[in-house]
Amino acid sequence: MASSLASRPRFKLCHLPTPLEPLKRLSAHLGGPQIWVKRDDATGLAFGGNKARKLEFILGDALAKGADLLLTAAGVQSNHARQTAAAAARAGIGCELVLARMVPFASSDYETSGNVMLDKLLGATVEIVERGTDLNAAMNERADRAKRAGRAPYIVPFGGSAPPGTFGYVDAALEILNQQNDAGITFDHVFQATGSGGTQAGLVCGFSTAGSSAPRLHGISVLAKGADYRDKVLRLVAETAAELGMKPPSDDATIVNYEHVGDHYGVPTEAMKDALALAARHEGLILDPVYTGKALAGMIAAIRKGQIAKNETVLFMHTGGTPALFPYREALSGAL
């Protein structure tokens, strides 16, 4: 399967492999298990994060098809939008972003700082639209307009979550399996934030190559609750496996936990704020309020409930998102 990945068009954007580091002080604070972090916040593209790995395959595909413009839609403080803008800049092609007001609050920081500021610095065209706007229709309309103007647009799906974007995390899983061998450890559990689902789908496929020694992957939902949402991830797993000609992983390998979303996507929870402070103050590790803070809160809750044994080894996926800290200045002020 590694060879099936190697034959896919890919445009190098990331610093790989990203570091795998032990979190000794956090492990001691929680009284075990042994906790490690995968530093995918350090993928290197315009402040890093998980979308860079997906974009290597997406951009490879886009350029192979002759595209000269990337179009994508997301939330206002989207890390995916920022990294898409950076990828387009690296390839020397255009980027148009349609950003929806997805969170139920507004502040001037939220619409001007953090990722949206970086999108503009990276040269993308940014349009902010209301919540509830049909984003697929908005993207298709822009693609048609671009074609009429003689451009060759390429629509990047939400979060880059479809093959070939998911291949980036199949590759990441293989990278983690190699790194754990080199470090002489075996991960029993892996925790990650799940949004559009492509990261989890890729990891499920990649880890399935380890057979019975594959870690249990826990997707902590930050977006939606309910079985429909897991079905979406399962569909992405099936599509990714089919595209790569792999044996489809068992459905049991796709675990989605809905307990840490809180009231809404992008709305802080107390447990997220505690997790942010814990990582910063015990490890000097900066997480983000939308994804990784809630994912770490989910991991801490599992440890505190005894769902993870003290002698087990756990990996936390740091998927990035730190530029979104700054627009959350007011929302986080009580926690700092």
Smallest gap, in angstroms, from Cβ of residue 179 to ligand PLP?
Answer: 20
- Residue 240 phi/psi, 5° resolution? -65, -45
Smallest gap, in angstroms, from Cβ of residue 220 to ligand PLP?
Answer: 9
Q: 78 an active-site residue?
A: yes
Which residues does 123 contact at the CB level (< 8 Å), separation at least 6? 85, 88, 89, 95
Closer residue to ligand PLP, CB minimum distance, 83 or 208: 83
Closer residue to ligand PLP, CB minimum distance, 26 or 324: 324
Kindly name the residue from 4, 7, 27, 78 that is annotated as catalytic: 78
- Sign of the torsion formed by the C-alpha atoms of 219, 220, 222 and 224: positive
- List residues near ligand PLP by CB under 6 A: 49-50, 79-80, 159, 161, 193-200, 288, 291-292, 319-321
- Whose CB is nearest to ligand PLP? 321
Smallest gap, in angstroms, from Cβ of residue 193 to ligand PLP?
Answer: 4
Smallest gap, in angstroms, from Cβ of residue 257 to ligand PLP?
Answer: 13
For 336, counting Cβ atoms within 10 Å of its Cβ (0-12 exposed, 13-18 middle, 19+ buried), the class is exposed
By annotation, the residues acting in catalysis are: 78
